[in-house]
């Protein structure tokens, strides 16, 4: 009887161990198993959304695998909050926007292509995003007033504990990556590519966010390599190569449409950067309004500049089109 009891106990322990291992097993979701086609022509939006839903509602860690190939993805929002706080996108292929993406976008404001909203613990690893921005740029360069505003490629909003690693963004219509109202974001090994002539194609834009780190990025674009909007604090930027582009900019801040109580920017460190053939190096730009904003505790360290038109700019009367420019109290700037 004693031996039977011991044997039963050992067996039960083994069963409990197996069950626990199964219950804690990572969920692996191959996008092609959901019907996605790597031909760059078949719309894979529904497979992406279904895989996201399964990962979001899982109690276990999940990896959504985007295999080699081109996967067409229409405008989409991956929404939280999720039960799962550990969702990884492992991308070996290229996610491609529709070639006519801009035709269906809002004419007055940014209408992003891919949005992650109210998520936690999401990481994107590898792969490429192709925003297919050429058609919109051509429309704008022809001075057509009917051109839509366009779409930023990848936007995280109201989220925390986010990581983007070794990803490439190509030819975004507008901003390539936007971090908005987020906390605890790391971007590392990012490559951003767009022609020097492409309008408003900022590389990485950070706004109303805290504890954001950008390390080892190579950015070649038609606007700011990195832009920092109001309400940003504790931003660390290191080992960034910028050019062509408009440099690294804080602002613009204090525009009336942002609201008179808009927050400032503080505790920003930018170090070990290289600017090559850029319009600007480091820049701070504020409107001459009565906004209760500020720029403080900002440090630019070890910046190397080659063929830079304006290495350092602090512009407290920023007004790009010289139309109805305000001239009131200035924001406080501390560098």
User: What is the spatial distance between Cα 330 and Cα 68, in angstroms, rounded to a whole number?
Assistant: 52
Q: How many angstroms separate the Cα of 59 from the Cα of each of 48, 83, 213, 256?
A: 19, 6, 28, 45
User: Is 144 one of the catalytic residues?
Assistant: no
Given the residues 86, 205, 224, 246, select the one marked as catalytic.
Answer: 246
| Inter-residue contact 86 to 127 (CB < 8 Å) | no
Query: How many C-beta atoms surround the C-beta of residue 96 within 10 A?
Result: 21
Backbone angles phi, psi at 207, to 5 degrees: -150, 140
Closest to 42 (Cα-Cα) out of 20, 13, 72: 72
Given the residues 110, 130, 202, 223, select the one marked as catalytic.
Answer: 223
Q: If you write DSSP's letter for every residue of 194-243 in order, what string do you get?
A: --TT-TT--SEEEES-EEEEEEEEEEE-SS-SEEE-TTEEEEEEEEEEE-
The two structure tokens encoding residue 284 = 């701070």
Backbone angles phi, psi at 105, to 5 degrees: -95, 165
Backbone angles phi, psi at 201, to 5 degrees: -100, 55
User: Is 223 one of the catalytic residues?
Assistant: yes
User: What is the spatial distance between Cα 50 and Cα 88, in angstroms, rounded to a whole number?
Assistant: 15
- Alpha-helical segments (H) within 24-60: 45-56
Q: Which helix (H) or strand (E) holds 276?
A: strand 265-276
The two structure tokens encoding residue 161 = 């504990």
User: What is the spatial distance between Cα 125 and Cα 73, in angstroms, rounded to a whole number?
Assistant: 17
Closest to 253 (Cα-Cα) out of 208, 284, 222: 284
User: What is the spatial distance between Cα 174 and Cα 170, in angstroms, rounded to a whole number?
Assistant: 11
Active site residues: 223, 246
């Amino acid at each position: 009887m004693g031996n039977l009891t011991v044997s039963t106990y050992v067996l039960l322990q083994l069963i409990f161990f197996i069950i626990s291992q199964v219950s804690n097993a990572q969920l692996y979701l191959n996008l092609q198993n959901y019907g996605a086609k790597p031909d760059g022509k078949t719309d894979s939006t529904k497979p992406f959304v279904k895989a996201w839903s399964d990962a979001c509602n899982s109690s276990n860690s999940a990896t959504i695998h985007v295999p080699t190939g081109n996967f067409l993805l229409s405008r989409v929002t991956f929404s939280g909050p999720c039960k799962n706080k550990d969702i990884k996108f492992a991308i070996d292929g290229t996610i491609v926007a529709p070639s006519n993406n801009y035709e269906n976008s809002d004419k007055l404001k940014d209408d992003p292509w891919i949005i992650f909203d109210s998520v936690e613990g999401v990481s994107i690893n590898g792969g490429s995003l192709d925003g297919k921005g050429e058609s919109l740029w051509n429309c704008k360069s022809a001075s057509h007033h009917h051109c839509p505003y366009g779409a930023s490629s990848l936007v995280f909003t109201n989220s925390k504990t986010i990581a983007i690693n070794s990803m490439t963004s190509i030819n975004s219509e507008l901003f390539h990556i936007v971090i908005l109202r987020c906390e605890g974001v790391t971007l590392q090994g990012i490559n951003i590519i767009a022609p020097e002539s492409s309008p408003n194609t900022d590389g990485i834009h950070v706004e109303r966010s805290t504890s954001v780190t950008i390390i080892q990025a190579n950015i070649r674009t038609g606007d700011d390599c990195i832009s920092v909007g109001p309400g940003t604090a504790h931003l660390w930027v290191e080992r960034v190569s910028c050019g062509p582009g408009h440099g690294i900019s804080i602002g613009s801040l204090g525009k009336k449409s942002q609201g008179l109580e808009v927050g400032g920017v503080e505790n920003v460190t930018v170090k070990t950067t290289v600017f090559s053939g850029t319009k600007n190096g480091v820049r701070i730009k504020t409107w001459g309004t009565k906004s209760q904003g500020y720029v403080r505790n900002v440090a630019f360290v070890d910046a190397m500049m080659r063929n830079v038109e304006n290495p350092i700019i602090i512009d407290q009367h920023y007004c790009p089109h010289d139309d109805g420019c305000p001239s009131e109290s200035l924001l406080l700037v501390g560098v």
